Amino acid sequence: MDIDLLLAIAHHLSVFALVALYAAEFALLRPGLSGARIRQLAQIDAAYGGVAGLVIVVGIIRVIFGVRGWEYYVTNHAFWGKMAALLVVGLLTIQPTMAIRKWLKAVGTDESYVPPPAEIATSRRLVHIQAGVLLLIPIFAAAMARGYGS
């Protein structure tokens, strides 16, 4: 089996895992969070961050060692659109992650802690915006795979 195929498989599987974790976070982040649900949300958010890092590392390795070569990617506008969308998603995750960490700390000292509704609403709004930006990533990837953007 060649390295390009292995890298493509690893990249796609890590992206699917990332989307699954995103969906779980999307579903759990809602009013009425407390105790065990906050802990669960924090674990999912941490896994989401770890898998996002894996997606990036495998993607970089794929750019360097993949069959197309790095020259294809650095001159491809669809690739840079995909990278910009990934950056925006990453920036949109900062506030919800910080809020979840804060809530987890509060639950550690008071098991009955419930986050303020305004904080949950702000985090939910950012997670919902991520959904729209996430949709751009496979669109750019499909365009790039078909030679658009060069």
Report the pLDDT value the prediction gives residue 16, as an integer from 0 to 100. 96
The domain segmentation of the chain, as residue ranges, is: 3-145
Q: What is the pLDDT of residues 59-107, one digit of tens each?
A: 999 999 988 888 899 999 999 999 999 999 999 999 999 999 999 999 9
Query: pTM value?
Result: 0.90
Section 99-125 average pLDDT: 96
The Cα-based distances of 87 to 12, 32, 122 in angstroms read 18, 30, 20
Over range 47-52, report the average pLDDT: 97
Q: What percent of the chain is modeled with pLDDT above 90? A: 86
Amino acid (one-letter) located at 9: I
